[in-house]
Amino acid sequence: MNDARARYRIGVDVGGTFTDVIAVDEGGRVTFAKAESTPSDQSTGVVDGLDRLAASLAVPLRELLGRTDSIVHGMTVATNALIERKGAKVGLLATEGHRDILEMREGLKPERYNLRLAREEPLVPRHLRFGVRERVRPDGRIDTPLDPASLAKAIRGLRRGGIESVAVCYLHSYRDNRHERLTREAIAEQLPDVYVSLSSEVLPRIKEYERTSTTVVNAYVGPRIARYLARLGDRLSAAGYGGPILIMQSHGGVAPIEETIRVAAGTVLSGPAGGLAAARRVAELAGAPNLIPFDMGGTSSDVSLVVDGEAMLAVDKAIARERIALPSLDITTLGAGGGSIARVDGGGLLKVGPQSAGAEPGPACYGQGGHEATVTDASVVLGFLDPDNFLGGASRLDRGAAVDALARLGEALGTDHVRAAEGVHRVINTQMAEGIRVATVRRGVDPRRFAILGFGGAAGLQATELARIVHVRRIIVPRVASVLSAWGMLGTELRLEATRSHVGDTGELDLAALRALYDELETDGRARVGGWTDGGVRSRRAAEMRYGEQVYEIDVPLDGVDFDSPDLADALKRAFEARHEELYTYILPDLDPVLINARVTTSGALPAPPIEPQAPRDGAAAPVGAREIWLGEWMEAPVYDFDTLFGGQVLAGPALVESDTTTVLLRPGDEATTTPERWLDIRLPEG
Give per-residue pLDDT as tens, 635-675.
999 999 998 888 889 999 899 999 888 899 999 999 999 99
Summary mean pLDDT of the chain? 90
Among 36-40, 339-343, 360-364, 489-493, top mean pLDDT goes to 339-343
Over 90: is that where the pLDDT of 615 sits?
A: no
Residue whose C-alpha is closest to residue 12's, from 69, 50, 40: 50
Mean pLDDT score, 587-607: 91
471 dihedral zone (left: phi>0; alpha: psi -120 to 50; beta): left
Whether residue 392 contacts residue 660, with contact meaning beta carbons closer than 8 Å, is answered with yes
Regarding beta strands 350-356 and 340-344, do their DSSP bridges make them parallel or antiparallel, or are they unpaired? antiparallel
Question: Minimum mean pLDDT among 197-201, 462-466, 548-552: which range?
Answer: 548-552
Confidence check: pLDDT of 17 > 80: no
- The pLDDT score that the predictor gives to residue 534 is 73
pLDDT grade for 531, boundaries at 50, 70 and 90: confident
Q: Which of 134, 122, 139, 121 is nearest to 94 (CA)?
A: 134
Q: What is the pLDDT of residue 503?
A: 86
What CA–CA distance (Å, rounded) separates 264 from 173? Answer: 20
Closest Cα partner for 16 from 399, 430, 373, 298? 298
Rounded-to-10 torsion of CA 181, 187, 189, 192: -120
The answer to which of 59-73, 142-156, 223-237, 352-366 has the lowest mean pLDDT is 352-366
**Exposed e or buried b per residue across 503-522, where buried means at least 16 C-beta atoms within 10 angstroms of its C-beta:** ebebeebebeebeebbeebb
What pLDDT, on a 0 to 100 scale, did the predictor assign at position 463?
A: 94
User: Quick one: pLDDT at residue 274?
Assistant: 86
Residue 398's pLDDT is 92
Span 448-463, mean pLDDT?
A: 92
User: Which range, 101-105, 374-378, 552-556, has the best average confidence (pLDDT)?
Assistant: 374-378
From 173, 87, 153, select the one nearest 123 (Cα to Cα): 87
Residue 607: pLDDT above 80? no
How far apart are the C-alpha atoms of 49 and 362, rounded to whole Å?
18
| Pairing state between β 451-455 and 291-296 | parallel
> How many C-beta atoms surround the C-beta of residue 344 within 10 A?
17
Task: Say what the pLDDT of residue 556 is.
Answer: 92
Encode 135-179 in three state secondary structure.
EECCCCCEEECCCHHHHHHHHHHHHHCCCCEEEEECCCCCCCCHH
In the prediction, which pLDDT does 444 show?
75
- 429 pLDDT exceeds 90? yes
Counting Cα atoms < 13 Å in the Cβ hemisphere of 108 gives: 8
- Does residue 1 have a pLDDT over 60? no
Of 175, 311, 335, 397, the C-alpha closest to 601 is 311
DSSP at 651? E
- What is the pLDDT at residue 438? 86
pLDDT at position 617:
65
Least reliable range by pLDDT among 233-247, 460-474, 487-501? 487-501
Answer yes or no: is pLDDT of 568 > 80.
yes
Taking 70 as the threshold, does the pLDDT of residue 3 lie above it? Answer: no
How far from each other are the two terminal CA atoms of the chain, in whole angstroms?
46
Residue 443 Cα distances to 311, 438, 446, angstroms? 15, 7, 9
Q: Where are the beta strands (DSSP E) in 530-654?
A: 537-546, 554-557, 594-605, 625-630, 634-641, 650-652
What whole-number distance in Å separates Cα of residue 335 and Cα of residue 341?
10
For the cut 90, the answer to whether the pLDDT of residue 107 exceeds it is no
Q: Residue 392: its pLDDT value, please?
A: 62
pLDDT confidence bin for 331, thresholds 50/70/90: confident
Go through 430-445 and write b for each residue having 16 or more CB atoms within 10 A of its CB, e for each that does not: ebbbbbbbebbeeeeb
DSSP labels for 96-128?
A: TT-TTHHHHGGG--TTTT-TTPPPPPPSS-GGG
Those residues with Cβ within 8 angstroms of residue 317's Cβ, 6 or more apart along the chain or in another chain: 250, 268, 269, 323, 324, 325, 328, 330
Integer Cα distance of 143 and 343 in angstroms? 60
Please give the average per-residue pLDDT across 527-534, as a whole number: 84
Question: Where residue 319 falls among pLDDT bands split at 50, 70, 90?
Answer: confident
Sign of the Cα torsion 469, 470, 473, 474 reads negative
Read off the pLDDT of each residue in 515-529 and give the average, rounded to a whole number: 94
pLDDT tier for residue 148 given thresholds of 50, 70 and 90: very high
CB of 600 closer than 8 Å to CB of 539: yes
Residue 391 binned pLDDT confidence (cut-offs 50, 70, 90): low
* Beta partners for residue 292, in sequence order: 452
How does DSSP classify residue 572?
H
Cβ pair 212, 167 in contact under 8 A? yes
- Please tell me the least confidently modeled range out of 141-145, 390-394, 681-685: 390-394
> Who wins on pLDDT, 148 or 30?
148
Taking alpha carbons only, the member of 629, 616, 665, 660 closest to residue 642 is: 660
Is pLDDT of 4 > 80?
A: no
* Interhelix angle 42-56/208-239, nearest 10 degrees: 50
Residue 484 in this model has a pLDDT that exceeds 90: no
